[in-house]
């Protein structure tokens, strides 16, 4: 079982603020790192799949970076909006196994 840690566990920000959170994982046997957004009453939605050390991906106001050598990934949200409120999950993949972190619950206050 992979030890995946996400921090902070929950976060409240004002609309318009930028924010970021962390996913930490063991760097050995790394294959890929997935980020998902899970809104209440919906199914998880894929944000990014990252495989290369130093990789940076962007989707609108959301971006993510990856450091496979030290075992962490950051997710950034620029200019948070209420619709960004969700739980953000990361899931490192060691080839044929996925281990989801407990997520960061983001609430954006209008």
Separation in Å, CA 36 to CA 39, 64, 110: 10, 11, 23
Cα dist from 21 to 14, 61, 69, whole Å: 16, 14, 18
Residue from the set 44, 55, 74, 76 that interacts with another protein by CB under 8 A: 44
| Per-residue binder mask for another protein (CB under 8 A), 17-36, x = binder | --------------xx-x-x
DSSP secondary structure letter of residue 31: -
Q: Which is nearer to another protein, 31 or 82 (CB)?
A: 31
- 28, 40, 42, 83: which one binds another protein (CB under 8 A): 42
Residues within the interface to another protein (CB under 8 A)? 1, 31-32, 34, 36, 42-46, 49, 51, 89, 93, 95-103
């Amino acid at each position: 079982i992979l030890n995946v840690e996400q921090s902070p566990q929950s976060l409240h920000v004002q609309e318009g603020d930028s924010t970021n959170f962390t996913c930490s994982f063991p760097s050995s046997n790394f294959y890929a790192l997935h980020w998902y957004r899970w809104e209440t009453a919906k199914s998880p939605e894929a944000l990014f799949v990252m495989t290369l050390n130093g990789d940076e991906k962007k989707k609108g106001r959301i971006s993510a970076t990856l450091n496979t050598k030290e075992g962490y990934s950051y997710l950034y949200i620029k200019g948070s909006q209420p619709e960004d409120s969700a739980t953000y999950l990361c899931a490192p993949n060691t080839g044929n196994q996925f281990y989801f972190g407990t997520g960061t619950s983001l609430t954006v206050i209008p």
